[in-house]
Chain A
């Protein structure tokens, strides 16, 4: 693992609640090579190593096509890497499981189920009684701001609403690790902010481990303990930045915080170097 000295040493770190520092997920020299028709052997991921602490909120940031989704799929067990391995609690990940809950970029809702049916699907599968599953699911639907839409079908929802259903559906079966692939990418700024706050609240309450893919630098800084910067062709980890900002984080306070602003500016500069405008992709 390439450990980059934490940039936070420049600031005096405030006292934050200590969390167990054992890694729940270990990605060990994972490479993923795709055989494509156009380009032979496209290297999507090249020798990625990363350890994610239990209860940590880790964001993966990087230009489009650098392999962020692919990395998430490897951890999810949906694809097996060409070489290397990913582990959860020391066990090699062989396939998907309810301990890791994905929220896909493409929503992937079940179109034949209503909003409520979608959210209840996981708990029901896990053997939760219908009445109980329904009560929990209704609460989650309300939390993501879709009260009143319980009996709508996915085709009757906007993109942002579908995304919120997808989030609720995954939260409903209480995975230990959330794997979120640009979950707020399709949302308007207002809803995005609200859901970021909601996600932070849930996270601060349950301390689930979150692996969060995003394009947005300030979203990454606002939410994360750690930001993993990736570069593309081939997809590599460029830098890992610890975000030492106090929690609980309030957006209104944070936006005025010079430490927050410095993180954003630094990471944006790094992003520009990784993916210069006009560079051939």
Chain B
């Protein structure tokens, strides 16, 4: 049995989407602008894109780069962040470096990276990697720093070595915070994925979008925006499910304020 309040909570995102589409439809009908197709026209173009083999290969290539970039970023950033949180020396070494990289838009680095590594997968994956790394490092760092000292002492008294304490106490204790960082990282991965394909036009979802723009196929442009948006919402929802399962032991203070699921 779902309570009325629960039902409302579940229906809310759907209603919000419908509302948004209705406003779009109305605005587009009112403006009658060629470069602003109606919502219905855009939605009608979606099956064409998803039915086209070429487009599908492009989208899948995008997702693959995103998965690889995200995966490598997470597996490097979590250990680094945890080490920084527990060792003053490591933090002192990496902090200035990260502070310089942090405010630079990762896409702005792309021309340089392209110069070195070309316009292929490596460049785009590297940009995604850079985009994801910083929030994951930051949250892992904060999470590791906040681990209660007595918890580590308890582990030490049981005979855990410093390395074991990092993996078996700091990592799980900081997990809620780490996953918050990963979630931000996931959204950033999607953004940098599209941006990188916009700059290095060769393949990918971003490439379809901007090619259509060049050719004035505005319904395809908007259809791609819907597809990318939907991908973001789905990925985030799946991630949120996984996250909630992994940290059901944690205090509610770690709960996310914003969620699409």
A residues with CB within 8 A of B:
73, 76, 78, 95-98, 100-102, 104, 106, 108-113, 121-122, 125-126, 153-155, 169-170, 173, 175
Contact = CB atoms under 8 A, between A and B. Distances in A.
Contacts of A101: 157
B130 interface: no
A110 B158 CA distance: 13
A96 B250 contact: no
A104 B154 contact: yes
A125 B160 contact: yes
B178 to A, nearest CB: 12
A97 B156 CA distance: 7
A96 B247 CA distance: 29
B151 to A, nearest CB: 5
Contacts of B158: 98, 121-122, 125-126, 173
B159 A98 contact: yes
A227 B158 CA distance: 28
B137 interface: no
A96 B153 contact: yes
A100 B169 contact: no
Contacts, number: 63
State the main secondary structure of chain A at its contact with B. Answer: loop
B157 A97 contact: yes
A153 B249 contact: yes
Interface in B203-251: 247-251
Interface string B12-44: 000000000000000000000000000000000
B242 to A, nearest CB: 15
B54 interface: no
B148 interface: yes
A174 to B, nearest CB: 11
Contacts of B248: 153
Nearest to B156: A96
A169 B247 CA distance: 22
Of the listed residues B169, B173, B247, B249, the one surrounded by the most CB atoms of chain A closer than 10 A to its CB is: B249
Contacts of B247: 112
Contact of A106 (B148, B157, B249): B148
Contact of A97 (B154, B159, B250, B251): B159
Interface of B: 148, 150-151, 153-154, 156-160, 169, 172-173, 175, 247-251
Nearest to A122: B158
A106 B151 CA distance: 9
A96 B173 CA distance: 21
A2 B156 CA distance: 32
Nearest to A104: B150
A108 B251 contact: no
Nearest to B153: A78
B135 to A, nearest CB: 22
A96 B157 CA distance: 5
19 contacts: A73-B153, A76-B157, A96-B156, A98-B157, A102-B157, A108-B150, A108-B151, A108-B154, A110-B151, A110-B169, A110-B173, A111-B249, A111-B250, A112-B173, A112-B250, A122-B158, A125-B158, A125-B160, A155-B251
Given A112-B175, A125-B158, A126-B158, 11 more contacts: A76-B153, A95-B156, A97-B157, A98-B158, A102-B154, A110-B154, A112-B247, A121-B158, A125-B160, A126-B159, A155-B251
A101 to B, nearest CB: 6
Given A153-B249, A155-B249, A108 B156 contact: no
Given A108-B148, A111-B250, A112-B172, A125 B153 contact: no
A106 B250 CA distance: 17
Nearest to A121: B158
Given A126-B159, A153-B249, A111 B154 contact: no
A104 B153 contact: yes
Contacts of A113: 249
A120 to B, nearest CB: 11
A112 to B, nearest CB: 4
B110 to A, nearest CB: 39
